[in-house]
């Protein structure tokens, strides 16, 4: 049935595309300079000079990238150092802040030489001497700014983009960019407070997590804590729920992608200390701003705190990031980016390890960018390790290890008109080397092996007229494991059509494949190979986005996904409606509102039933208000319907068992109680003339101490019993500082 619905959606799309004859021009306003730092004439320099810079401005007006298009040292370095500290009012597209790349031209004029010293009295002067005119040194040159928007819209037409300026203000997210994803439509956490999500009905194991195009095997510490990347290093986060661009593959669910900040041309640092951990990031440019070195990390001292109240438990985590980048020319840059994390959770008295994993990645990359093209070539090395010493965990006890080597390339070139051709490849070979206490007979999935995956992709962005963009794409993946090979062709299509000055219509269609996996990905742990066949997802989405008055943005989307899981003999579908409303946090009153109405079904043989994680209603509302004087308050309300359950018991009313039981099982179905949560955040920020700042924050996740119904079970003595999880609540006091 889903394929029929998907075909109907595609047919309607074609009809609408064919009937759009006039498309209104995009209402785009250019960024404007709000605050600038003087571009000083370099000491020791001679003559006049002109420098042209390419500047990338984020949605919150920050300068995130500065590249020289023309100019020579030392003028180039002086111009870049000044512009990197400028602040803009961001570019607006129908009252919605968007990224913009602008050109800035700065002209340097050599100051006039100082006047000669006066001649002492009594010294004879030439008879025909003419009084010299002493010109005052000229004022520092005023920069001439030429602005042209080169890329104000992200490539991913169906993605929901969250700028860094907003992520740090969301209550209950603890300034963590990746935890903010919970507020987006189509997203439902496994349990409230646990940052593992179902995305449009796809389980967490089917959702891909990427940092700068690098797959991250573990995104959150101990499954519930902060993310493994320092917040100050993350520039933006976007969620592509389905029908994602061709550069993403090997996942049958959504994609969560984060991009790190561009190398800075001025020194910067941020630090954070909270009740349970502390972290810092420092970046220092060198070689006149052509190079940059960055180090960051986080360390949790929860083990020391637990030793005071519950010494039998062990809990600890840490992470690190390091990056060195150097511009070898105006068009080329080489970088090394390393990051990793470690988590441990266990009962030391019982010598029981509940969670013990670590991973490490190092990425060597070359970036090339000109006015008409851009490219990235990267080599990634990785290692994962997992200690399994708990009978409740999947697989035998012991150590699971894996090593990876990956190569990826992606490039883009502007063609005639507004067309752009994009393409690339990504390959990875992974070696599993388990060290197990005992390998059960027949459990060959835990034997040592090497898996290889290779994907190639291309897509073409066409803009036949203003306000009309269509992006057909194609991806082809190949996988090999234990001597067997499979290939997966995946067509993709996305469109964006402006049908009114403030209204645009979005569509997306795609086919995605994924190898068998756990419901939640486990670093270093192999799963059964290709003999179980792949998972396949057919995805279709349609939506409208609208620019509203008062700097508000709205989106309404309908979606439909059909899933085939051959290894389990299951098929399924998920369909629904998503609503999203946003007002930028740069406004005094800002916030988000997201609502998802959905239904998730599974089919096994002749039976079709609701999935155990089906939640028909999920609602998130976030408000933040700037009180002035550096004070800001915010709150988040979250509601989710209870999950569907199916219970088998030996009595018709599912009461206690009796001696007269017949052994026949009766099935009871229903829905658990819904869950409501309220989060709060308060901040006081002090800013200094030097550009540094200090902030004190108080944040409380689940301030109402709400409990969530976890499951329903049948017990012979008491009948059906509802098990409710203890309230997961976390108040936090923190100090942040930066410059």
- Of 91-100, 171-180, 434-443, 536-545, which range is least confident? 434-443
Would you state the pLDDT for residue 724? 72
Percent of the chain scored above 90 by pLDDT? 38
The pLDDT mean for the chain works out to 82
Examine the fold and report which residue of 376, 410, 438 is the final residue of a domain before the chain moves on: 438
* 112 confidence band (pLDDT: 50, 70, 90): low
pLDDT score of 10:
41
**Residue from 97, 84, 79 nearest 35 by CA:** 84
- How far apart are the C-alpha atoms of 600 and 611, rounded to whole Å? 6
**What's the confidence (pLDDT) of residue 107?**
83
Per-residue model confidence as pLDDT tens digits over 222-249: 877 889 999 999 988 888 888 889 999 9
Tell me how far apart the alpha carbons of residues 582 and 161 are, in angstroms, rounded to a whole number: 11
Average pLDDT over every residue of 575-598: 92
Please name which of 540, 531, 484, 547 lies closest in space to residue 512, comparing C-alpha atoms.
540
Is the pLDDT assigned to residue 144 strictly greater than 70?
no
pLDDT score of 14 more than 50: no
pLDDT value at 510 more than 90: yes
Residue 167: inside a domain: no
Q: What is the pLDDT of residue 111?
A: 76
Q: Are 710 and 704 in contact (CB under 8 A)?
A: no
Q: What is the pLDDT of residues 360-392, one digit of tens each?
A: 999 999 999 988 899 999 999 999 998 865 544
Name the residue among 579, 575, 487, 515 with its Cα closest to residue 539. 575
Q: How confident is the model at residue 515 (pLDDT cuts 50, 70, 90)?
A: confident
User: Which residues have C-beta within 8 Å of that of residue 257, sequence separation ≥ 6?
Assistant: 209, 210, 211, 213, 237, 238, 240, 248
Domain-embedded: residue 215: no
Beta strands 255-260 and 208-211 are parallel
> What is the CB-side half-sphere exposure of residue 288 using CA atoms within 13 A?
13
Check pLDDT > 80 for residue 22. no
553 in Cβ contact with 581 (< 8 Å)? yes
Whether residue 575 has pLDDT greater than 70: yes
Instruction: Please report, for residues 255, 257, 461, 476, the alpha-carbon distance to residue 423 in angstroms, rounded to integers and kept in the order given.
Output: 18, 18, 11, 12
Which pairing describes strands 187-189 and 214-215: parallel, antiparallel, or unpaired? unpaired
Residue 458 burial by Cβ neighbours in a 10 Å radius (0-12, 13-18, 19+): middle
Q: Is residue 564 domain-resident?
A: no
Q: Among 330-334, 651-655, 676-680, whose mean pLDDT is lowest?
A: 651-655
- 117 vs 487: which has the higher pLDDT: 487
Stretch 9-30: mean pLDDT: 43
Quick check: helix, strand or coil at residue 107? strand
Element (H, E) at 315: strand 313-327
Q: What is the average pLDDT across 127-147?
A: 44
Domain identity same for 416 and 285: yes
Task: Give the pLDDT confidence score for residue 445 in this predicted structure.
Answer: 57
Alpha-carbon distance of 721 to 728, in angstroms, equals 21
H/E stretch holding 470: strand 468-481
* Angle at alpha carbon of residue 368, lines to 363 and 374, rounded to 5°: 110
Instruction: Please compute the mean of the pLDDT values over residues 643-658 and round it to a whole number.
Output: 76
Q: What pLDDT, on the 0 to 100 scale, is given for residue 350?
A: 67
How far apart (Å, rounded) are the C-alpha atoms in residues 714 and 711? 10
pLDDT classification of 530: cutoffs 50, 70, 90: low
pLDDT of residue 522: 63
Q: Kindly state whether residue 363 falls inside one of the protein's structural domains.
A: yes
In total, how many domains does the chain have?
2
Is the dihedral angle over the CA atoms 166, 171, 176, 181 positive or is it negative?
Answer: negative
Confirm whether 288 is domain-assigned: yes
- pTM for this model (two decimals): 0.80
- In this model, does residue 124 exceed pLDDT 70? no
Lowest mean pLDDT among 14-28, 312-326, 502-516: 14-28
Q: How far apart are CA 63 and CA 262, in angstroms?
A: 10
d(CA 257, CA 216): 10
Tell me the mean pLDDT in the region 638-664: 75
Please check whether residue 268 lies inside any domain of the structure: yes
Q: Is the per-residue pLDDT at 441 higher than 80?
A: no
Domain boundary among 386, 410, 438: 438
In a domain, 457, yes or no: no
pLDDT tier at 397, thresholds 50, 70, 90? low
The residue-averaged pLDDT of 290-313 equals: 88
**pLDDT tens per residue, range 37-81:** 778 888 777 777 878 888 888 877 888 878 777 777 778 778 888
Least confident of 188-192, 282-286, 612-616, 684-688: 188-192
- Section 486-510 average pLDDT: 93
- What confidence score (pLDDT) does residue 546 get? 93
pLDDT attached to residue 531: 56
Residue 683 has pLDDT above 60, yes or no: yes
Q: Please report the pLDDT score of residue 529 as a whole number.
A: 57
CA 376 to CA 410: how far, in whole Å?
5
Which pLDDT score is estimated for 588? Answer: 87
pLDDT category at 16 given cuts 50, 70, 90 is very low
Q: What's the pLDDT at 127?
A: 44
What pLDDT shows up at residue 446? 61
Model pLDDT, residue 113: 62
CATH number at residue 39: 3.30.2420.10
- Between the CA of residue 491 and those of 247, 475, 508, 537, 539, what are the distances in Å? 12, 6, 11, 12, 11
* Gap between the Cα atoms of 314 and 347, Å rounded: 6
pLDDT of residue 404: 95
Please compute the mean of the pLDDT values over residues 139-167 and round it to a whole number.
Answer: 59
Q: Which domain holds residue 431?
A: 263-438
State the pLDDT confidence band at 21, using cuts at 50, 70 and 90: very low
Residue 131 — pLDDT band, cuts 50, 70, 90? very low
Comparison of pLDDT for 735 and 134, the residue scoring more: 735
CA separation for the pair 664, 82 (Å, rounded): 79
User: Does the pLDDT value for residue 559 go beyond 90?
Assistant: yes
Backbone angles phi, psi at 244, to 5 degrees: -80, 170
pLDDT of 467 > 60? The answer is: yes
Query: Is 501 inside a domain boundary?
Result: no
For residues 706-731, average pLDDT: 77
Using an 8 Å Cβ cutoff, are 331 and 294 in contact? no
| pLDDT greater at residue 350 or residue 490 | 490
Question: Would you state the structure tokens that stand for residue 429, as one six-digit string?
Answer: 């070979």
Span 157-184, pLDDT tens digits? 678 877 777 788 899 888 888 888 888 9
Return the pLDDT at 51.
84
The domain boundary residue, chosen from 416, 438, 460: 438
């Amino acid at each position: 049935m889903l394929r029929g619905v998907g075909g109907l959606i595609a047919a309607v799309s074609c009809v609408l595309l064919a009937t759009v004859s006039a498309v209104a021009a995009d209402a785009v306003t250019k960024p404007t300079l709000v605050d600038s730092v003087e571009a000083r004439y370099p000491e020791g320099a001679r003559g006049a000079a002109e420098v042209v810079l390419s500047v990338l401005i984020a949605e919150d007006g920050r300068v995130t990238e500065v590249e020289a298009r023309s100019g020579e040292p030392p003028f180039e370095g002086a111009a870049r150092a000044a512009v990197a500290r400028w602040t803009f009012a961001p570019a607006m597209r129908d009252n919605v802040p968007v990224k913009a790349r602008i050109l800035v031209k700065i002209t340097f004029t050599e100051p006039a030489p100082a006047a000669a010293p006066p001649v002492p009295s009594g010294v004879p002067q030439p008879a025909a001497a003419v009084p010299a005119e002493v010109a005052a040194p000229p004022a520092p040159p005023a920069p001439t700014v030429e602005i042209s928007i080169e890329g104000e819209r992200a490539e991913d037409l169906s993605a929901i983009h969250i700028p860094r300026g907003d992520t740090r203000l969301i209550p209950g997210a603890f300034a963590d960019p990746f935890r903010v994803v919970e507020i987006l439509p189509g997203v439902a956490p496994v349990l409230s407070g646990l940052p593992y999500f179902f995305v449009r009905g796809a389980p967490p194991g089917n959702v891909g997590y990427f940092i700068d195009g690098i797959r991250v095997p573990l995104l959150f510490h101990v499954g519930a804590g902060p993310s493994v990347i320092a917040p100050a290093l993350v520039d933006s986060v976007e969620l592509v729920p389905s029908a994602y661009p061709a550069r993403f593959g090997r996942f049958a669910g959504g994609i969560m992608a984060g991009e790190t900040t561009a190398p800075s041309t001025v020194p910067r640092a941020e630090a954070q200390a909270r009740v349970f951990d502390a972290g810092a990031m420092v970046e220092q440019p060198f070689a006149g701003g052509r190079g940059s070195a960055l180090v960051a990390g986080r360390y949790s001292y929860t083990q020391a705190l637990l030793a005071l109240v519950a010494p039998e438990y062990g809990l600890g985590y840490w992470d690190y990031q390091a990056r060195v980048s150097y511009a070898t020319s105006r068009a080329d840059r080489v970088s090394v980016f390393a990051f990793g994390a470690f988590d441990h959770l266990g009962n030391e008295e019982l010598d029981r390890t509940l969670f013990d994993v670590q991973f490490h990645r190092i990425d060597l990359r070359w970036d090339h960018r000109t006015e008409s093209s851009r490219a990235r070539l990267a080599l990634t090395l990785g290692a994962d390790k997992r200690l399994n010493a708990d009978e409740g965990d999947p697989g035998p006890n012991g150590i699971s290890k894996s090593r990876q080597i990956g190569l990826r390339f992606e490039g883009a070139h502007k063609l005639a008109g507004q067309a752009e051709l994009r393409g690339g490849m990504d390959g990875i070979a992974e070696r599993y080397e388990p060290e197990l206490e005992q390998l059960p007979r027949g459990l060959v999935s835990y034997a040592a092996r090497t898996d290889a995956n290779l994907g190639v992709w291309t897509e073409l962005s066409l803009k036949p007229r203003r306000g009309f963009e269509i992006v057909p794409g194609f991806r082809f993946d190949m996988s090999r494991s234990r001597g067997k090979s499979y290939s997966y062709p995946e067509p993709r299509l996305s469109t964006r059509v402006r049908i009114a000055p403030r209204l645009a219509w979005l569509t997306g269609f795609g086919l995605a494949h994924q190898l068998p996996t756990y419901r939640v990905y486990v670093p270093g742990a192999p799963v059964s190979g290709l003999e179980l066949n792949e998972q396949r997802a057919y995805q279709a989405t349609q939506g409208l986005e609208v620019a509203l008055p008062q700097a508000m943005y709205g989106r309404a989307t309908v979606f439909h996904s059909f899933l085939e899981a051959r290894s389990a003999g299951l098929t399924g579908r998920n369909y629904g409606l998503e609503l999203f409303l946003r007002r930028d946090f740069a406004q005094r009153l800002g916030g988000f509102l997201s609502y998802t109405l959905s239904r998730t079904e599974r089919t096994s043989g002749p039976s079709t039933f609701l999935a155990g994680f089906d939640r028909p209603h999920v609602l998130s509302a976030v408000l933040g208000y700037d009180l002035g004087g550096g004070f800001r308050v915010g709150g988040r309300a979250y509601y989710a319907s209870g999950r569907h359950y199916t219970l088998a018991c030996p009595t018709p009313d599912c009461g206690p068992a009796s001696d007269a039981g017949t052994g026949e099982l009766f099935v009871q179905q229903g829905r658990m109680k819904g869950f409501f949560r309220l989060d709060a955040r308060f901040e006081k920020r002090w800013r200094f003339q030097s550009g540094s700042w200090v902030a004190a924050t108080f944040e409380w996740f689940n301030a109402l101490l709400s409990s969530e119904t976890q499951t329903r079970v049948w017990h012979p003595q008491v009948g059906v019993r509802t098990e409710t999880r203890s309230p997961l609540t976390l108040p936090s006091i923190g100090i942040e500082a930066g410059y």
